[in-house]
């Protein structure tokens, strides 16, 4: 039985989510405010959080950031009526692993939850071990990345994506393969999520200012390739 936290101030939506997830065998806590969510996260080990961004007391993006810090192993799924691409980027940058826009489709939501939980939260990609590409060192088993000797913080999916590309460094990896290996075969959303995570990953690696970084190459119409530094 998974422990879930629903953060939703709309009584109708929250009530439906709470009842539906309980009926499917989950241990569900429902909070209506950001502060309530943070208290619940401090009190329980969570497997997955469904977080509405439009909360009455705190900015939902800030709540997302704090939840990511409090519960680094939990899957964080943002639920929102905000559909602009930049809102999606901000949500992912704040630590969300998945992003669903309202109105919600319950069957799809439950399927996504099952997919995330099957992977046991943030997943460890196949081929666990270590990979060194120039100044980047990836400890797959320990889920750590260091750049020029300094550890950097990556979100769960960013780490999975980097590790997956590194496992076939120098080779093309198709979009379908990346979506399947990193997000699960039952992914229902747009593959634009992949592009956003790639963009975020480039920013995080480039933001270190280090030299000797591998390059994530876009292969139009196919996917991506991680090239070792020259």
**Whether residue 80 is found in the same domain as residue 55:** yes
Task: Give the model's pLDDT for residue 136.
Answer: 92
**Whether residue 101 is found in the same domain as residue 201:** no
In tens, the pLDDT along 32-61 reads: 999 999 999 999 889 999 999 889 999 988
pLDDT over threshold 60, residue 148? yes
**Whether residue 106 is found in the same domain as residue 194:** no
Q: Which residue has the higher pLDDT, 147 or 122?
A: 147
Among 83, 117, 151, residue at a domain's last position: 117
What's the average model confidence in pLDDT over 121-149?
74
Calculate the alpha carbon distances from 131 to 26, 166, 169 in Å.
Answer: 37, 7, 9
pLDDT over threshold 50, residue 126? no
Domain count, the chain: 2
**Whether residue 105 is found in the same domain as residue 141:** no
Task: Give the model's pLDDT for residue 194.
Answer: 87
**CA gap 147, 135 in Å, rounded:** 5
- The first and second tokens of residue 6, run together, are 């629903």
Q: Which long-range contacts (CB under 8 A, 24 or more apart) does 163-168 make?
A: 163/125, 163/127, 163/131, 163/138, 164/125, 165/216, 165/224, 165/225, 165/226, 166/131, 166/133, 166/138, 166/214, 166/226, 167/125, 167/126, 167/127, 167/131, 168/226
CATH number, domain containing residue 178: 1.10.10.10
Q: Which of 8-22, 85-99, 123-137, 176-190 is most confident?
A: 8-22
Which H or E run contains 49?
strand 48-52
Tell whether 43 is covered by a domain: yes
What's the average model confidence in pLDDT over 131-144?
87
Q: Which domain range does residue 174 map to?
A: 130-227
pLDDT over threshold 50, residue 121? no
**Whether residue 104 is found in the same domain as residue 13:** yes
**Whether residue 54 is found in the same domain as residue 110:** yes
Confidence label for 94 from pLDDT (cuts 50, 70 and 90) = confident
pLDDT over threshold 70, residue 190? no
Cβ neighbours of residue 177 closer than 8 Å, sequence gap 6 or more: 223
Q: What is the longest distance spanned by two Cα atoms in the chain?
A: 56
Task: Give the model's pLDDT for residue 125.
Answer: 40
Confidence label for 120 from pLDDT (cuts 50, 70 and 90) = low
**Whether residue 139 is found in the same domain as residue 209:** yes
**Whether residue 212 is found in the same domain as residue 181:** yes
Confidence label for 187 from pLDDT (cuts 50, 70 and 90) = low
CATH number, domain containing residue 8: 3.40.50.2300
Tell whether 122 is covered by a domain: no
What's the average model confidence in pLDDT over 110-120?
76
pLDDT over threshold 80, residue 69? yes
């Amino acid at each position: 039985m998974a422990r879930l936290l629903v953060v939703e101030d709309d009584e109708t939506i929250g009530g439906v989510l709470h009842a539906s997830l309980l009926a499917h065998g989950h241990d569900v806590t429902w909070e209506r405010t950001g502060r309530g969510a943070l208290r619940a996260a401090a009190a329980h080990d969570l497997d997955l959080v469904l977080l509405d961004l439009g909360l009455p007391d705190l900015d939902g993006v800030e709540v997302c950031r704090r939840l990511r810090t409090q519960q680094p192993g939990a899957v964080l799924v943002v639920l929102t009526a905000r559909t602009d691409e930049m809102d999606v980027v901000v949500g992912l940058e704040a630590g969300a692993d998945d992003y669903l826009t309202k109105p919600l489709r319950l069957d799809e939501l439950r399927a996504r939850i099952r997919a995330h939980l099957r992977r046991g939260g943030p997943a460890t990609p196949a081929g666990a071990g270590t990979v060194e590409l120039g100044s980047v060192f990836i400890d797959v088993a320990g889920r750590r990345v260091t750049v020029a000797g300094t550890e950097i913080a990556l979100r769960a999916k960013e780490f999975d994506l980097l590790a997956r590309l590194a496992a076939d460094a120098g080779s093309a990896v198709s979009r379908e393969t990346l979506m399947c290996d990193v997000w699960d075969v039952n992914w229902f959303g747009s593959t634009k999520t992949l592009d956003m995570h790639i963009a975020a990953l480039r920013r995080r690696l480039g933001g270190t200012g280090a030299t000797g970084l591998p390059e994530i190459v876009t292969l139009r119409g196919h996917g991506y390739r991680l090239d070792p530094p020259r």
